Structure formats: C-alpha cells, structure tokens
Amino acid sequence: MEESEPVQVVELRLSYRYVTANPWVVQAIGGFLSAYFMEHPGFRVQRHIEELESGTHLWACEVPPTMKFLRLLKRLKEDIPPCTAQEIATDLPARPRYLIDCPE
C-alpha cells in the first residue's frame, strides 16, 4: 500500500451481553481478523481493547479505501453464533462504528 492512499479507521465492537453468552467469540474474532489481514493487503488491526466500564471489546481496524467493511462483517457473521451487526450512529466525521450483539 502506498503512503498516499487514505486509510479509514473503523471500530468493531462486541457487546458485553454477546461476550457473556459466547465467551470464546473474542478469540475467534481476533483469529478471523488476523486471517483477514493475510488475505487483504492494507487491512490492519491497530489495537484490541476491553473497555472495563462497559465490558465491551473493541477492535480499531485500518481499512483501505477499496475494501468494503460490510463484506468483512458478512463473512464474520458466518463464523460466529447468531448475532446482529449494526452501525452505531455517530456525529460526522467520526469513524464508523459497528456493534455485534445478541439477536433480539
């Protein structure tokens, strides 16, 4: 990837409720994102943190302009227990945020 290409940072979050129901999914998503990095040049996980106040897990991912993050979410949903994945509303120009949670 060239230095001049703009990179977007996208946040992927797991709700506390989903992690509690499926504790192994945190490791599974970490592995999935590592494999995605190998398949797609330019994609990279900047960091993974657990927010202690809310219990959510957060991955900050660098996404090249040619990559569709929704395609990544669709593939990820095939590998984990049933869930909902929705974009969290933010004030523009904040980075896009997606939340994976238990289905209603």
Tens of pLDDT along 34-90? 999 888 888 999 999 999 999 999 999 999 988 899 999 999 999 999 999 999 987
Q: Which domain CATH number covers 15?
A: 3.30.1370
Domain assignment present for 103: no
Answer yes or no: is 2 within a domain. no
Q: 95 versus 21: which is more confidently predicted?
A: 21
* Enclosing domain of residue 49: 8-94
Distance separating alpha carbons of residues 70 and 64, to the nearest angstrom:
13
Q: Is residue 104 assigned to a domain?
A: no
| Whole-number Å distance between alpha carbons of 86 and 97 | 8
pLDDT exceeds 90 at position 25: yes
The answer to whether residue 30 is domain-embedded is: yes
**For residue 1, is pLDDT > 50?**
no
Residue 104 confidence class, pLDDT cut points 50, 70, 90: confident
Pairing status of strand 57-63 against strand 84-88: unpaired
Number of domains in the chain: 1
Asked, for residue 51, whether it belongs to a domain, the answer is yes
35 found inside a domain: yes
The answer as to whether 1 is a domain residue is no
pLDDT, mean of residues 94-102: 93
State both tokens at 23: 């504790």
CA angle 79, 82, 26 (to 5 degrees): 55
Residues 6+ apart with CB under 8 A from 54: 16
Q: Calculate the alpha carbon distances from 48 to 12, 57, 58 in Å.
A: 9, 7, 6
Residue of 70 and 4 predicted with greater confidence:
70
